[in-house]
Amino acid sequence: MALIVQKYGGTSVGSPDRIKNVARKVAKFRAQGHQVVVVVSAMSGETNRLIALTKEVASNPTPRELDVVVSTGEQVTIGLLCMALEDIGVPAKSYTGGQVRILTDSLHTKARILDIDEAPVRKDLDEGKVVVVAGFQGVDEHGNITTLGRGGSDTTGVALAAALKADECQIYTDVDGVYTTDPRIVPEARKLDTITFEEMLEMASLGSKVLQIRSVEFAGKYKVKLRVLSSFEDREGEGTLITVEEDKNMEQPIISGIAFSRDEAKLTVVGAPDKPGIAYQILGPIADANIDVDMIIQNVGHDGTTDFSFTVARGDLDKAVKVLEGVKAHIGAREIETDKSMCKVSIVGVGMRSHPGVASQMFRTLAEEGINIQMISTSEIKISVAIEDKYLELAVRALHKAFGLDAAV
Amino acid sequence: MALIVQKYGGTSVGSPDRIKNVARKVAKFRAQGHQVVVVVSAMSGETNRLIALTKEVASNPTPRELDVVVSTGEQVTIGLLCMALEDIGVPAKSYTGGQVRILTDSLHTKARILDIDEAPVRKDLDEGKVVVVAGFQGVDEHGNITTLGRGGSDTTGVALAAALKADECQIYTDVDGVYTTDPRIVPEARKLDTITFEEMLEMASLGSKVLQIRSVEFAGKYKVKLRVLSSFEDREGEGTLITVEEDKNMEQPIISGIAFSRDEAKLTVVGAPDKPGIAYQILGPIADANIDVDMIIQNVGHDGTTDFSFTVARGDLDKAVKVLEGVKAHIGAREIETDKSMCKVSIVGVGMRSHPGVASQMFRTLAEEGINIQMISTSEIKISVAIEDKYLELAVRALHKAFGLDAAV
């Protein structure tokens, strides 16, 4: 008998029929002798409907009251799932975030979990009940309703698993696991049986939407065994287990996955004076404007000037250009160039720590396809390159094959 | 400066625009220097939408979980109204039933209020905030969410007014007060400036939908000054004040109002043996089947048999007939007659206590219009008659005029 925390997202509980489907799934686990805690999101579309309502009554909705309104989405789902469970003979009890209680700080709309009182949940489990908890929400020390921000239900699931010392936290989604890369781009992409937390973090921060990044950090910190799998019956399986330890299997590939992002734009300050402090003079005002900078290149200068390039999210480009126009006059640069047709492709794998040739293999592969690398950034377990947008699919497919990730047919 | 509790029903908060309208109304009261506590219902249609959802996931929704789901309706409204208030510069704070806290028993879907902790509300009021409380809901001693049953928001308003010792509890509806009778039937119907609790109770139990009967009982018990008035700007006014004391004004009419109900049906057990215990033998099984009986007549018997008639709500007729078929065989009656074309007309007024001629005036008025009275029932401040359906409008208009209720033109 194991204690399992299962989290079902908005799509998985998106209609009465799907809720009944989740109830049957949960009942099956319980029939196998497991204790089950279920965390649910709002039915898909519900959170957006509620937010739209708030925008109709107030130009600038108060965060505290926004949380009061938005948290009802998950509250509806816990009630519905419990009655669906009881309707098929499974005793169940629902908890809002405040009832559990999931204590958070008071940062409305993006609160952080401080503590969970798992005693009542454990009591219900011991009485044979399935416990259903509203994801995404908590309560601060004054009894105010808080929410954890988008995707916060994953974090609720992991935090509950940590508090209950659950044997496993299962995150049910509309995909059946974590893939070596997006199967829509590379049909040969393989589902990974395991991936390390570090790799998953890099994949998540690079645009893989499977798991919310905060929940992965949380699971890593508290050593929660985390598994991503599909809630749809035709895709049932073992999913992908996210592990703390690197797989010791010798046959493990060096690279676990290829992530990419189309959402990139490059700015270049041309003819900036080549002297100390120029990076700060350019990037300081950008940071002050709350724009995240990703990759940075400062060219080797000549004639006392240099070109300074960096990338930002495409949505921030116009704002960044405005900031740089001011900077240009101030530092006496020649002009600002922009390039919207950028994308980023990254290879991720803990194996590259012990395999120094990975970067050169990546660059050779791209060169063989005639793809020009414009910028490079690296971490211990990741190498990212910025390339022209139109080469994205080609680059991902070539790298997927070159690093031996293609599925054996 | 007064402390006012205002309750706005589902129609008054039925859309974002109407919520903004309520916010402006509340702001106006506050600007006059009053402390305001607002109780709101779910937006009209929302409770039915939620109940429909529960019926899609479970054939027999658990009452506890039904309350979890349905209580979100009011929670959405309190958040929306608070942000609408803050958007026009009025500091506001919302409370769910559990947050106030409104302690109830554990009878889910029809809980009764046991206690209210008014301290946090008073603190917010003293800080200059408008307090917005979710109607219809509470929390039991174990922290479970409960609801008070349909129309429970009126009761929440009155209970809060009692706990806070408010100067007045204002119930905003889509009518501008309590009328002498339904203006759709009698165009000359007048809005009453005052009505006693006893009269209001009779009016409510006789089908006047203005106030939920439990809230009137509650207000009478705790001596809460209750006022019914319109939430719509084009019908603003003083509404109707519901008073504990009978108006000492000598000019007060004997009759305050005329209530009626179309929803009546008559059953007659023909040729029942005329002996002691026959009423119990007939009405006992009816009560066991949870059917409410209203008026009862046992004819003077002859030849050892009698006819026994009573009225029930029209929706209960078929069920009642089935019960009586069994009774008929058992007691040896001749047959069961039914009459669906019945209605009930009642005159209500505390003045009739001291005016013994009221009943005969009522009967004479109906006789003059050629209306045959089939059954009669009376209380200290009410006389009801059952008559043929088709005479309803005629009877109400004639009585309205005869008792001097027509508006002076």
Distance of CA A383 to the CA centre of its chain: 19
What is the model's pTM?
A: 0.82
CB contact under 8 A, B68 and A75: yes
Q: How far is A175 from chain B (nearest CA, A)?
A: 24
Q: What pLDDT does A208 receive?
A: 61
Task: Please count the other Cβ atoms lying within 10 Å of the Cβ belonging to residue B42.
Answer: 27
- CA-closest candidate to residue B399, choices B385, B381, B378: B385
CB contact under 8 A, A87 and B59: yes
Interface test with B, best of A46, A51, A57 (most B CBs within 10 A): A57
Which residues on A lie below 8 Å from B92 (Cβ)?
65
What residues of chain B, 135 to 154, have a C-beta less than 8 Å from chain A? 143, 145
State whether residue B76 sits within 8 Å of chain A by CB. yes
Model confidence at B79: pLDDT above 80: yes
Q: What pLDDT does A267 receive?
A: 94
Q: What pLDDT does B251 receive?
A: 54
Q: What pLDDT does B246 receive?
A: 61
Nearest CB to A83 within list B54, B80, B92: B54
In this predicted structure, which of B38-52, B110-124, B242-256 has the lowest mean pLDDT? Answer: B242-256
Q: What six digits make up the tokens of B322? A: 């089935």
Model confidence at B138: pLDDT above 90: yes
State whether residue A130 sits within 8 Å of chain B by CB. no
State whether residue A59 sits within 8 Å of chain B by CB. yes
Q: What pLDDT does B3 receive?
A: 96
CB contact under 8 A, A82 and B75: no
Encode pLDDT of B383-409 as tens digits.
999 999 999 999 999 999 999 998 765
Nearest CB to A16 within list B56, B66, B79: B56
Residues 6+ apart with CB under 8 A from A377: A294, A295, A296, A383, A384
- CA-closest candidate to residue B81, choices B95, B68, B67, B70: B95
Q: How far is B274 from chain A (nearest CA, A)?
A: 50
Average pLDDT over residues B33-52: 96
Handedness of CA A201, A206, A210, A212 (dihedral sign): positive
What residues of chain B, 91 to 120, have a C-beta less than 8 Å from chain A? 92-94, 96, 98-99
Q: What residue ranges define each of the domains in chain A, with the CATH number in brackets?
A: 3-173 (3.40.1160.10), 257-402 (3.30.2130.10)
Backbone angles phi, psi at B267, to 5 degrees: -120, 140
Encode pLDDT of B187-237 as tens digits.
999 989 999 888 888 887 665 667 778 888 888 889 899 999 988 766 677
CB contact under 8 A, B62 and A96: no
CB contact under 8 A, A79 and B20: no
Residue position matching structure tokens 């301290």: B119
Interface test with B, best of A62, A85, A99, A146 (most B CBs within 10 A): A62
Which residues on B lie below 8 Å from A86 (Cβ)?
58, 62, 65
Interface test with A, best of B82, B88, B100, B145 (most A CBs within 10 A): B82
State whether residue A66 sits within 8 Å of chain B by CB. yes
Q: What pLDDT does B235 receive?
A: 66
Q: What six digits make up the tokens of A302? A: 């000549």
Specify whether the CB–CB gap between A254 and A349 falls below 8 A: yes
Handedness of CA B373, B376, B382, B388 (dihedral sign): negative
Q: How far is A94 from chain B (nearest CA, A)?
A: 7
Nearest CB to B87 within list A58, A72, A79: A58
Cβ pairs bridging A and B (under 8 Å): 123
CB contact under 8 A, A57 and B80: yes
Q: What is the pLDDT tens value at each position of chain A, 409 positions in all?
A: 899 999 999 999 999 999 999 999 999 999 999 999 999 999 999 999 999 999 999 999 999 999 999 999 999 999 999 999 999 999 999 999 999 999 999 999 999 999 999 999 999 999 999 999 999 999 999 999 999 976 789 999 999 999 999 999 999 987 888 889 988 899 999 989 999 888 888 887 665 667 778 888 888 889 899 999 988 766 677 899 998 766 555 556 789 999 998 889 999 999 998 888 888 899 999 999 888 898 888 887 778 888 999 999 898 999 999 999 999 988 989 999 999 999 999 999 988 888 888 999 999 999 999 999 999 988 889 999 999 999 999 999 999 999 999 876 5
Residue position matching structure tokens 């929302």: B46
State whether residue B90 sits within 8 Å of chain A by CB. no
State whether residue B12 sits within 8 Å of chain A by CB. no
* Alpha-carbon distances, residue A135 vs A62, A102, A216, A239, B361 (angstroms): 21, 10, 16, 21, 66
Q: What pLDDT does B207 receive?
A: 58
Encode pLDDT of B49-77 as tens digits.
999 999 999 999 999 999 999 999 999 99
What is the residue type of B367? A
CA distance linking residue B204 with residue B195, whole number of Å: 12
Q: What six digits make up the tokens of B212? A: 């939920």
State whether residue B78 sits within 8 Å of chain A by CB. yes
